[in-house]
Structures are given as C-alpha cells and as structure tokens.
Structure 1
C-alpha cells in the first residue's frame, strides 16, 4: 500500500509539474507576443521599429547570458572551436536574426489573431525544408497532411478582414527562416553531439544575432530614429519586455527538457486559440467566420500531424525496448549455454 501510494504521489507530482511547465510557457509566450504587438502597433505604443526592438532583446539576453556564464559561472559554457562557431553558430544566428526581424515587423501590419493563423504553417515549412536538406523522407500521406494545413491557412487568409500583402509576406518569410533554423540546428549542431540549453544558446547565438541585425539597422531604422527628437527610451517598457523575452527562452528549455518538443507543439495550439480569443475580445481585432473555419481546418491538420509524430515516437520506443529485450535474452541464453558446457566438462573430468 505504501509503495502504491508513493508511486501514485510520484505520478501526480510529475503530472502537476508538466502542467506547470506548460502553463508557464503559454503565459510567457502569450505575454511576449501581446507586449511586442503593443510596442510596435501604431495604434498603441506606436514605436514601429522592429529591428531596434529585436536588437534590444538580443543585447539584454547577451548581457544576462554573459553574466550567468562568465561572471557568476552558474552555467558551464560548451567547448567550441572558432571554426565550429563560424560554420555552425553563425548561420543559425543569421537565420534567427531574420526570423525575429520579419516576425516582429509583421505585427505592424497584421492582427495578432491572423499572425497566429499563419504560424500554423510552421510544420509545413519544417517538413518541406527537412525534405530539401534530406533530413526527412518524403511520404505521400504526410505531404497530403501538409497540403490540408496549407489549404486551411489559405481559407483563413481569404477571410481576413485586414489582409495586408506585405504583412503576410513578412510573416511567411519569418516562418520560412525559423523552420530553416530548426532544421539547421539538427544538421549543424545536434548531428555533431552539441547540445545548447537556452542560456548557452543565448550566450553564443544572441551576440551573433545582434551583429546581423545591426547591419540593416544602420541603413533602415537608424536614420529615422536619428531624425526623431520626440522619442525617449523607456527603461520600464523595454526592460520588462526584454526580461519577458529572456524568461520565455528559459520556459522553452523547461518545457522541452522536462516534457518533450511534442508537448510544446500541442501547448502551442492551445496558446494560439487563446491569442485569437484575446485578439478578438480585448484588442477588438476583426475575426470572421471564414477566418475561424480556415484555421479550424489547419488546426485539425496540425493535430493529426502531432498525433502521427506521437505514434511514431511510441513505435520507436517500443522497437527500442524490444531490441533491448532480445539482446538481454540472447545474453542470458549464452550464459546458460556456457554454464551447461562448464558442467559437462566437469562431469567428464
């Protein structure tokens, strides 16, 4: 009874922690998205400088990561040569810079709800780029699923009341660069046995990302900011916004590290629905029935995709357990045959 009670308490505790990680990640992701929209939207805080905002985030995250790694030494840095940094981290930093720049730019032109609908294309982009780089095999049923997600997003776009072609282009570009970054992490880092947690990831990637953002900032936003005499840097707004962005990186590590990437994908769908509801009810963005119908179709496609991945993981785990069981059985059989042969030799003596 005691053992059963202990097991039950352990299961309940693990489930409680898993839900806590999910809720923390949803809350922080929700906050960062709405906060960025508030800062960048011309009808709200009215500071439409997405490169500058992203650079502030990267400078804050770089400084805090450096403090934790080099000064306080709370996190051990990864052993990395200059050649590996240039060949692996620099391309990932460039892709991350482009993804953040374009995604933040989209908030100026599109509603929060429509942006979340467009983000449903992420599995499509990741799978397509995975095939392009020969990371994933082509499967007709998976591609059909990707087409169903794309169809749902297309219907949602058709029903969008505030459709903006440039905003859609920016958000689709952000999805493409982010998907490429995720695939490149697997190819350039994971395949070489290098694993970065959010602190070490920011320690290595954030400064590189800052440099790549600085180059377009000089030509695109700096001249405009230089001519604007009315702007005064608000440390409270930008400080809390950057702190939320840093905390979100930690929440991603907790969620994926303590549960799985699949859990984050499922939680992301819940977050998207919450953001759509918030965008409609609080920000007063227009959400049409065609919007919802199209996104519901995309949602079904994403849900099926996550279900398929879960079944594949379970099958791989079962296959791994069966292989270990066969190996153990073979080892025991060899030991018994060895013992039998030893006894036979002893009887002959």
Structure 2
C-alpha cells in the first residue's frame, strides 16, 4: 500500500509500510526487508493471511462508503479523525500489553526527527485521508478503484520531483499502460462528478508525496518500521492535524444527536474503527509470508472484487468501455510492479503448470475466468441493465 539505500527508480516496493485506516491501497504491502520473524502460535497457511487482508481491506472501503454515502453522513474529516484517535489509543494499548509493537524499540526516534520528518509526513497522511474519503461522497467505489490504479504513476512522478530517483523514459513507458487504461475507464464513466474526481486526484497526489517522503525517511536502517509501528508514531500527530481541520471545516455543521447518533450511531462507528484498525494488524502478520508476485496479484484481485461488490451493493453501472479500460490499467499495474522479465517468467511457469495438468494452475485460471465473466454478465445484464 517496504526501502532503499540509494536513489533508484520507484518500483512500488516501499508503498505500503503504513497502511492507512480508511484508504484502500491498490495492492497489498510487499514484504519488507528484513522479513518479519514468524509469530509463535499463528503459523497458518499464507492463504489465510492473504484472505484476511483482502477481506478487511475490502470491508474497510465498503464500510466507509456506506457510512459517508448510504447513511448520508457527509463528514469525512470527522470519520478520519475518529479512525486516527481510535488507532492512537489502540496502538498505545497494544504497545503495553503485547509484543506486536516491540519493533518500535529499534527505531531511533528523537524529538528533532519527529518534528522534521514525522509531522510533515503526517500532514500529507491527513490530507490524503480527508480527500480520499471526501471522494466517496461523490463517486462510486468502482470508479474510485479505477482512478486509484494511477497511484504508482503519481508516486513515480513525485519521486522524480523530489529527486529521489532519476527520470527514465523506459520507466515512464512501463506505466503508460496504466494511464491509458484509466483514461479509457474515465471516458466511459456514466456518473462522472468533477468534484469527486478532483478530491480523488488530490488524495492520490497527497498519498504519492507521503509515500516518497516515507521512502526517504526509511533510507536509513534505524528508521525502518513495520505498518503497525509506523501507525504508532503517525496516528497521534495525524489525529491532531485532522482534528484541527475538523474544527475549522465541519465542527460548526455537525450535530452529535442528529448526525453522529442519528445517522450512524456510536456502536457502528466503533465497529468501523475496529475494522480499519484490524486491517493494519492483518498487514503485520501478512508481510514476509508470501512472494511479491502473490501479493501483487492479490491486490489486483481485491480491486476487481471491490468493483464487483460495488455493482452488487449499489447497482453501480459499469460500461463496456470502463471494463476494457480498467482491464488495461490492471494489466499495466502488474507489468509495472513485477517488471517485464518477471511477468514473462511467470507466464512461462503458468503455461508449464497448465500443460502438466497441475490442479493449482487450473483452479487459479478457473477462478479468475469465472470472476471476470461474472463482472461482465452482471454489468451488462443486471437489474439496472448497465449500458455501453
């Protein structure tokens, strides 16, 4: 949604050291270096951890959309502030009662570093959360996922702008497919809302800047953190920043009785914060237990699943042009994340597995095929008769 010792082209490997409570990064976090040691008593099959991550990541996004759009609770800054306050309290509790945050003892955090590095990153963290959640008021989950496919492109441009890597035409060519796919998908969007698009684009830009700043911070070994430790340090400052934005922009409009308790309710808000925080915990157990290929493909599967669920839950209309554009963008995302050599290598392995009749290969291809056919069938023959 993971570090380097010298400037290099961004390859997406550092993007998800910090899993945001209310954002849905386009793919799961690649395993950091060094890999987290296995935890005693929790050595399940990697598929279990991947399944939990996909479930919690999708649930967080859909839950936020339901609160902000379906419940008409138009206060995204309040919601993100609540997530961060909850995350602050939860990480402090876990630090004192479990070993999940023992990694913080290896981080040489000082007051100077906190002020000069953590707080600026926290500002972009907060802006990213606010804009991303604002977009859910105006746009469908399906279209937002399509726009988010451009996040690696924004990160690449931000790394060039901040001189973290050297501009390369080859790298630009590798991400061109993502841009082309998203443009096609956007052209086919039926319920296009300019305000929502602006908020989502700003959210992607803020998030890209944050990720590059984190990458720069983590270039030193003493500042490497897993997702939960990073949340331990960033949640308090982000809660304060978001709280300030809330006081200025939403506090005068929100009603505790009519909006907070009437439209959503404290139990539902607490459950929402728990799901968002559980996503961060699931990332800690996921990292280091599977390959970058599996994580990248699971991220793509999660994005497709969200599009399908958006169609099923909110009867979102997905046009044929969007389907084609998003497919192109996802193919470009896999190509960019893994690199041409890795993609071709795994295609050869998949072909060999299919020819040898291996059950796993047949099942994987079958599941993907059924999923894609289901998307097309429902989008074009569902109850709303999604058009082209």
Contact 1:57 1:242 in 2 (8 A): yes
2:92 counterpart residue number: 66
- Match for residue 113 of structure 2 among 78, 84, 107: 84
Unpaired runs of 5+ in structure 2? Answer: 1-41, 346-388
Aligned partner of 1:186 in structure 2 is 215
Q: CA deviation at 1:273?
A: 0.5
* Whole-Å separation in 2 of the counterparts to 1:252 and 1:229: 35
Report deviation, 1:103: 0.6
What do you get for the CA RMSD once the two structures are aligned? 2.2
Shift of 1:266: 2.6
Residue 309 of structure 1 deviates from its aligned partner by 7.6
CA distance in 2, matches of 1:310, 1:62: 42
1:198-257: CA deviations, max 9, x gaps? 33222210011011111221121100014x752343222111100011011112222233
Match of 1:238 in 2: 269
Q: Counterpart in 2 of 1:29? A: 57
Partners of 1:161 and 1:286 within 8 A in 2: yes
Partner Cα distance (2:286, 2:73) in 1? 32
TM-score between both structures, scaled by the size of structure 1: 0.79
Determine which structure has more spread, i.e. the larger CA radius of gyration: 1
Q: 1:263 to 1:95 in 2, by over 3 A?
A: farther
- Which residue matches 2:371? none
Please give the alpha-carbon distance, in whole angstroms, between the structure 2 residues aligned to 1:271 and 1:308. Answer: 20
Q: Is residue 2:186 matched to residue 1:160?
A: no
Q: Please give the alpha-carbon distance, in whole angstroms, between the structure 1 residues aligned to 2:145 and 2:308.
A: 11
| Residue correspondence of structure 1 range 1-349 to structure 2 within 5 A | 17-41=45-69, 44-69=70-95, 71-72=96-97, 74=99, 75-76=101-102, 77=104, 78-226=107-255, 229-233=257-261, 234-259=265-290, 263-308=294-339, 311=342
The answer to whether the Cα contact below 8 Å between 2:108 and 2:223 also exists between their aligned partners in 1 is no
Over residues 284-331 of structure 1, what are the superposed CA-to-partner deviations in whole Å (9 max), with x where a residue is unaligned? 01111111111111112112112308749x9xxxxxxxxxxxxxxxxx
- Contact between 2:296 and 2:334, CA under 8 Å: does it hold in 1? no
2:293–2:338 Cα contact (<8 Å) kept: no
Q: Where does structure 1 lack aligned partners over 5 or more consecutive residues?
A: 1-13, 315-349
TM (normalized to structure 2)? 0.72
Tell which deviates more after alignment, 50-59 or 217-226: 217-226
Cα 1:309/1:214, change in 2 over 3 Å: farther
Whole-Å Cα distance in 1 between the matches of residues 166 and 79 of structure 2?
A: 38
Distance in 1 (CA, whole Å) between partners of 2:50 and 2:257 is: 43
In structure 2, distance between residues paired with 1:31 and 1:241: 9
Distance 1:136 1:21, change over 3 A: farther
Q: Is this contact kept in 1: 2:149–2:330, CA < 8 A?
A: yes
